[in-house]
């Protein structure tokens, strides 16, 4: 019998054992791994636009992604629902609504303000603000990508990630 897995570990961060964890297949930029040839990575990320999933409005670019507390992707639960966000330096397609709250924050030390799409007003995430800096936490499920790569067929999902297994020496 398989060991029982804890789905929610009771903390605000979600256990990687959660069945919904890491099923963000619609966002390819998350799979672009840094390589020794960093310039290509920058090009790849710079090309990928992140759009509002509801209306297609440009929200930000994959090249705006940052790490906060050592991670780009953060997973939380909100009233039992899994909420997965990515952190971005900037998101020009968002507008803040309501007041800035210093209430319970997923990112310790940061106040937050709800951010909506400036075109259709769907909630996209939150801006997190500290005296030193601010960043955007955007929900993956509210984003889709536009990868306008001229004259190239996109590789099948995950193809670029597979290690070369059949190389004979």
Q: What part of residues 110-129 is at the interface with Zn ion (CB under 5 A)?
A: 117, 119-120
The reply to whether 57 sits near Zn ion by the rule CB under 5 A is yes
* Tokens, residue 89: 């330096």
Beta carbon of residue 122, minimum distance to Zn ion (angstroms, whole number): 5
CA distance 136 to 94: 9
CB under 5 A: which stretch of 39-47, 52-60, 72-80, 97-105 binds Zn ion? 52-60
- Considering only residues 17, 42, 55, 92, which one is a binding residue for Zn ion as defined by CB under 5 A? 55
Closer of 91 and 117 to Zn ion (Cβ):
117
Closest-CA residue to 80 (of 2, 20, 140): 20
The reply to whether 62 sits near Zn ion by the rule CB under 5 A is no
Using alpha carbons, list the distances in angstroms from residue 115 to 1, 119, 157.
Answer: 45, 12, 30
Q: Which string of b and e fits 141-150 if b means at least 16 CB within 10 Å?
A: ebbbbeeeee
Q: Which string of b and e fits 26-41 if b means at least 16 CB within 10 Å?
A: ebbbbebeeeeeeeee
Closer of 47 and 57 to Zn ion (Cβ):
57
Beta carbon of residue 126, minimum distance to Zn ion (angstroms, whole number): 16
Closest-CA residue to 126 (of 95, 151, 154, 157): 95
The reply to whether 90 sits near Zn ion by the rule CB under 5 A is no
Closer of 56 and 73 to Zn ion (Cβ):
56
Beta carbon of residue 41, minimum distance to Zn ion (angstroms, whole number): 28
CB under 5 A: which stretch of 18-26, 47-55, 65-73, 79-87 binds Zn ion? 47-55
Please answer whether residues 81 and 74 qualify as being in contact, where contact means their C-beta atoms are separated by less than 8 angstroms: no
Please answer whether residues 137 and 125 qualify as being in contact, where contact means their C-beta atoms are separated by less than 8 angstroms: yes
Beta carbon of residue 94, minimum distance to Zn ion (angstroms, whole number): 10
Chain residues that interact with Zn ion, rule: CB under 5 A: 52, 54-55, 57, 117, 119-120
């Amino acid at each position: 019998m398989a060991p029982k897995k804890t789905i929610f570990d009771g903390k605000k961060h979600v256990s990687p054992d959660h069945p919904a964890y890491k099923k963000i297949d619609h966002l390819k930029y998350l799979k672009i791994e840094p390589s020794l040839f960093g310039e290509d990575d920058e090009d790849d990320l710079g090309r990928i636009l992140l759009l509002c999933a509801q209306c297609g409005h440009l929200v930000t670019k994959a090249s705006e992604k940052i790490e906060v507390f050592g991670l780009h992707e953060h997973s939380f639960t909100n009233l039992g629902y899994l909420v997965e966000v990515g952190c971005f330096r900037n998101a020009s397609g968002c507008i803040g609504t309501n007041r800035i709250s210093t209430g319970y924050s997923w990112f310790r030390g940061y106040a937050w303000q709800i951010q909506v799409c400036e075109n259709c007003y769907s909630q996209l995430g939150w801006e997190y603000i500290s005296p030193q800096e601010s960043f955007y936490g955007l929900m993956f499920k509210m984003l889709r990508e536009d990868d306008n790569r001229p004259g190239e067929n996109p590789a099948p999902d995950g193809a670029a990630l597979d290690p070369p297994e059949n190389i004979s020496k």
